[in-house]
Amino acid sequence: MRIEEDIKLDYSDVLFRPKRSTLQSRKDVNLKRTYKFKYSNHEWSGIPIMAANMDGVGELGIAEKLSEFEMITCLTKQHDLKTIKSDKKVKNIFKNIVLSMGTREDDFNRVSEILKECSFFQFICIDVANGYSEHFSKFVKSVRDKYPTKTIIAGNVVTADMTQELILSGADIVKVGIGPGSVCTTRIQTGVGYPQLSAVIECADAAHGLGAHIIADGGCTCPGDVAKGFGGGADFVMLGGMLAGHDEGKGNIVEKNGEKFIQFYGSSSEVANERHYGGLNGYRSSEGREVLLKYRGKINDTIINILGGVRSSCTYVGARSLKELSKCTTFVRVSNQFNDTFTK
Ligand code: 5GP
């Protein structure tokens, strides 16, 4: 047994240190980024915030709205050719859509079928809870061999060694995060995880050294956390809970004592397993939970609020653009990041 003594940090353990700046207004801040991906050579421009491939978030309705802001949506693994073809708007927003799959054969076949007819999609996300198995790296390699010009996202991992391994196996972008999610129970069920900000900082460093990119996936609770992800070096930040609870996600609206709520659940929760795979099989336990979120109406204001927060973070540290944010970032460690007197 070994213990690593150096301190690893979560978003809530730090704040940005403000710096002198010549920026006059947050509207001068450019949040758009342009990336060219390592293997696909594909160039993408937009605001690098992504909706997670979770029910109620990774949906076509969300993709339509996010695309207006040039933001990306990872569709859930339930999207097949038929659902995609039935949405006429897909043809206009495909550049901001990611197709997701696990490592099951039927999943791979579903995505292959979509790509056969809709070869315009650029992004494939190979998404498993634990990206540390040898089988996973081999699978990433086989997808790379089959799709040399697609941009492949693979994850999730939280350490530099495995980020490098996935990149060397053919991933353009590595998805980082084990256990930080709003409806994730991995840390409770298994005791496994890594504080998200440190995971982002360490994996970004590893990926950038190899000319690849990373996504900070999970654990953002407010716009400040999104900015901290970018400040830590993330190329993209992926959000589940922060984008859930809206009309566009088409979740179940439930009324309780005159108030409206939307059901939201983790992708490996019991509800998700029952809905999509006919229940959990005998040797697995659920690593996600179900919550009722206050219904939040249209997603437009939520997006504007997130982007406004990130722009403002940039002005506080003197970054004219999102691209400059990590270079302008000094984090200070804190033991209390927020005065919650009136929120209890
Ligand atoms: P959030 O933004 O809600 O904090 O985190 C979203 C991320 O949580 C997703 O992109 C995914 O990586 C992770 N996630 C979603 N559902 C589950 C689940 O059931 N179990 C675990 N361990 N992680 C989940």
Residues 6+ apart with CB under 8 A from 343: none
Query: For the chain, give me the number of helices (H) and strands (E)?
Result: 12, 15
Give me the pLDDT at residue 181, please. Answer: 97
Give the pLDDT band of residue 178 (cuts 50, 70, 90): very high
CA of 125 to the centre of ligand 1 (A): 14
Q: Read off the amino acid at residue 341.
A: T
Q: Which atom of ligand 1 is nearest to the CA of 155?
A: 12
Q: Which atom of ligand 1 is nearest to the CA of 179?
A: 22
User: In the annotation, is 220 catalytic?
Assistant: no
Task: Determine the 3-state secondary structure of 228 from DSSP.
Answer: helix
| Closest of 86, 22, 48 to residue 319, by C-alpha | 22
pLDDT at 281 over 80: no
Tens-place pLDDT, residues 90-141: 999 999 999 999 999 999 999 999 999 999 999 999 999 999 999 999 999 9
How does DSSP assign 208-226, residue by residue? HHTT-EEEEES---SHHHH
Beta bridge partners of 46: 33
Closest-CA residue, ligand 1 atom 17, reads: 266
Closest-CA residue, ligand 1 atom 15, reads: 266
Residue to probe by mutation, ligand 1, list 11, 183, 287, 302, most atoms within 8 Å of CB: 183
Residue to probe by mutation, ligand 1, list 54, 74, 236, 302, most atoms within 8 Å of CB: 54
Contact 272, 302 (CB under 8 A): no
Lowest mean pLDDT among 26-30, 40-44, 82-86: 26-30
261 CB-contact burial (10 Å; exposed 0-12 / middle 13-18 / buried 19+): middle
pLDDT at 261 over 80: yes
What is the Cα gyration radius of the chain? 19
Tens-place pLDDT, residues 155-169: 999 999 999 999 999
Contact 277, 257 (CB under 8 A): no
pLDDT at 344 over 80: no
Among candidate residues 184, 203, 220, 328, the one labeled active-site is: 184
How does DSSP assign 193-209, residue by residue? ---HHHHHHHHHHHHHH
Q: Kind of pairing, strands 33-36 and 43-46?
A: antiparallel
Contact 261, 297 (CB under 8 A): no
Closest-CA residue, ligand 1 atom 16, reads: 266
Q: Read off the amino acid at residue 211.
A: G
The answer to whether the pTM exceeds 0.85 is: yes
| Closest of 162, 107, 110 to residue 136, by C-alpha | 162
* CA–CA dist 50, 53 (Å, integer): 9
Contact 236, 72 (CB under 8 A): yes
Question: What average pLDDT score do residues 6-21 get?
Answer: 96
> Cα 304 vs. chain centroid, distance in angstroms?
18
Q: Which atom of ligand 1 is nearest to the CA of 178?
A: 22
Closest-CA residue, ligand 1 atom 8, reads: 181
Q: Kind of pairing, strands 290-294 and 173-176?
A: unpaired
37 CB-contact burial (10 Å; exposed 0-12 / middle 13-18 / buried 19+): buried
Give me the pLDDT at residue 278, please. Answer: 82
199 CB-contact burial (10 Å; exposed 0-12 / middle 13-18 / buried 19+): buried
Q: Which atom of ligand 1 is nearest to the CA of 177?
A: 12
* CA–CA dist 194, 188 (Å, integer): 13
- Ligand 1 pocket: which residues have CB below 6 Å? 52, 54, 129, 156, 177, 181-184, 186, 217-220, 238-242, 266-269, 287-288
Give me the pLDDT at residue 297, please. Answer: 96
The residue behind tokens 């256990």 is: 179
